[in-house]
Amino acid sequence: MIAQAVANPVRLDAVALRADFPMLRRTINGCPLVYLDNAATSQKPQVVIDRMQRFYTEEYSTVRRSIHLLSAEATRAYEETRRTAARLLNAPETRQIIFTKGTTEGINLVAHGYGRKFVREGDEIIISATEHHANLVPWQMLCEEKGARLRVIPVDDRGELILEAYEKLLNDRTKLVAVGHVSNALGTIHPVEEIIRLAHAQGIPVLVDGAQAAPHMPVDVQALDCDFYVFSGHKACGPTGVGVLYGKTEWLERMNPFLGGGDMIESVTFEKTTYAPLPHKFEAGTPPIAEVIGLGTALDYLCRVGLEAIAAYEQTLLEQATARLLAIPGVRILGTARRKAAIVSFVVDGIHPHDIGTLLDQEGIAIRAGHHCAQPVMTRYGVPATARASFAFYNLPSEVEALGAALEKAIAIFGG
């Protein structure tokens, strides 16, 4: 990755881009905000805030249902986001893009629509040991209900999935593989291409949780050949309350709807309801219209900055942060995979991660401390929690340095 970044100079001006983000002008405890909690949620550029404000003040109406001009315009703007999302993921058709509330809902939709229909007693679902609870609990619930079995791809000390073990887990009872593209707790970029290829060799569909990937690197669902791909708008510079599910048409058409209600039907009688065609079959009720429209602006913004440039620039922050933290005695980084996104999970001898978080907050540095909704990963490494710094393209090398300096100060105070 490094060699690549050097070969293609990083064309991204983080200082200039920061001016687009009003929140980055805030001070915290008298210090300039250093926002390093991007894996939890990202900040919003002014264009996204403005777009939603304009929708509410000048264009507000519902979508799909009414024949008046405002509704037609709102529908057009809403559907434009679908095209933008399809372009972002290189989906073949826009009807393969389903708007959800976020990654969690996208996975639950597939667990319900695919799982309840195709998984039976004795069947197996494979996930990995690094999954976010959002890509674990829905499958566990499904397995409990169906008498199916959850199998887990183990992870090695570096935080890389053990593919030989994965191959042994695949069998004719396996009904689905669900893996994260990038681990939010460790930063590992999983070899999803290989995982998908091995599953498809046995006719097994694969869902990829792209919450930490889609906002940070180019994603091509056709090249990956995944069956489902999900991500959240709020981690991609967009609003909360909206996310994207991509699915292969054949699966989406065969699956049960998730929620029943208005807009997802073709005709309703008390005897029988027939469902609307894709994508409406999976979008029951009045959707989060302003949020979907704001998401379109956010995804356009990311594409303009360029996901190649974002990935390359964030790699430089990762390299810098890794070196800076490892130079501090008593600091240990969890997750040392060869391919990593810009997420650094760490522990410090003698200081609880929550205390690290609190001390850094006093310097205006926002990180996350906890189990990162991935308790089994924490168990695997024998820690209850870690501190986690996670970067975005609007972070600066000076902020990485601020993190290192504040951490040294915290350790001095605690006598770590």
Ligand X SMILES: *Cc1c(COP(=O)(O)O)cnc(C)c1O
Answer for which of 38, 135, 315, 395 binds ligand X (CB under 6 A) is 135
Give least dist CB 39 to ligand X, A: 6
Answer for which of 232, 322, 386, 390 binds ligand X (CB under 6 A) is 232
Identify the DSSP state of 276: P
Map the footprint of ligand X across residues 34-53, applying CB under 6 A: 39
> What are the φ and ψ backbone dihedral angles of 37, each rounded to 5 degrees?
-125, 40
Report the distance separating Cα 215 and Cα 45, nearest Å. Answer: 14
Q: How many residues does the chain have?
A: 416
Closer by beta carbon to ligand X, 102 or else 353: 102
Stretch that binds ligand X, among 131-139, 151-159, 198-206, 318-326 (CB under 6 A): 131-139
Angle at 388 between CA 189 and CA 401, to 5 degrees: 100
Give least dist CB 214 to ligand X, A: 10
Quote the tokens at residue 306: 């360029």
Q: Is residue 180 close enough to count as binding ligand X by CB under 6 A?
A: yes
Q: Is residue 138 close enough to count as binding ligand X by CB under 6 A?
A: no
Give least dist CB 189 to ligand X, A: 12
Stretch that binds ligand X, among 47-55, 141-149, 206-214, 391-399 (CB under 6 A): 206-214
> What are the φ and ψ backbone dihedral angles of 148, each rounded to 5 degrees?
-95, 175
Q: Is residue 315 close enough to count as binding ligand X by CB under 6 A?
A: no
Closer by beta carbon to ligand X, 137 or else 265: 137
Give least dist CB 329 to ligand X, A: 30
Give least dist CB 209 to ligand X, A: 5
Size of the site for ligand X (CB under 6 A): 14
Q: Which of 31, 143, 237, 373 is catalytic?
A: 373
Closer by beta carbon to ligand X, 82 or else 190: 190
**Catalytic status, residue 373:** yes
Q: Is residue 188 close enough to count as binding ligand X by CB under 6 A?
A: no
Closer by beta carbon to ligand X, 99 or else 364: 99
Beta strands in 184-341 (DSSP E): 206-209, 228-232, 243-247, 265-268, 273-275, 331-334
Q: Taking the CA of residue 165 as centre, how many other CA atoms within 13 Å lie in the half-sphere pointing to its CB?
A: 13
Give least dist CB 294 to ligand X, A: 15
Report the distance separating Cα 343 and Cα 346, nearest Å. Answer: 10
> What are the φ and ψ backbone dihedral angles of 50, each rounded to 5 degrees?
-65, -40
Work out the number of other CB atoms within 10 angstroms of the CB of residue 258: 22
Map the footprint of ligand X across residues 91-130, applying CB under 6 A: 102-104
- CB of 59 closer than 8 Å to CB of 77: yes
Closest CA relative to residue 157, chosen from 186, 182, 193, 190: 186
Q: Is residue 134 close enough to count as binding ligand X by CB under 6 A?
A: yes
Closest CA relative to residue 31, chosen from 352, 366, 317: 366
Closer by beta carbon to ligand X, 74 or else 377: 377
Report the distance separating Cα 132 and Cα 375, nearest Å. Answer: 8
Quote the tokens at residue 221: 């669902």
Give least dist CB 180 to ligand X, A: 5
Q: Is residue 212 close enough to count as binding ligand X by CB under 6 A?
A: yes
Q: Is residue 132 close enough to count as binding ligand X by CB under 6 A?
A: yes
Give least dist CB 53 to ligand X, A: 23
The helices-and-strands tally (H runs, E runs) of the chain is: 16, 17
Q: Is residue 224 close enough to count as binding ligand X by CB under 6 A?
A: no
Interface mask toward ligand X for 244-273; x: CB under 6 A: ------------------------------
What lies within 8 Å, CB to CB, of 325 at 6+ separation is 331, 333, 344, 346, 403, 404, 407
Q: Taking the CA of residue 19 as centre, how many other CA atoms within 13 Å lie in the half-sphere pointing to its CB?
A: 3
Closer by beta carbon to ligand X, 119 or else 213: 213
Q: Is residue 242 close enough to count as binding ligand X by CB under 6 A?
A: no
Identify the DSSP state of 393: T
Report the distance separating Cα 59 and Cα 81, nearest Å. Answer: 16
Question: Beta strands 228-232 and 206-209: pairing type?
Answer: parallel
Closer by beta carbon to ligand X, 180 or else 247: 180
Residue with tokens 């996104």: 341
Answer for which of 37, 124, 209, 399 binds ligand X (CB under 6 A) is 209
Reduce the DSSP state of residue 312 to 3 states and report it: helix
Q: Which residues bind ligand X (CB under 6 A)?
A: 39, 102-104, 132, 134-135, 180, 184, 209, 211-212, 232, 234
Catalytic residue positions, numbered: 373
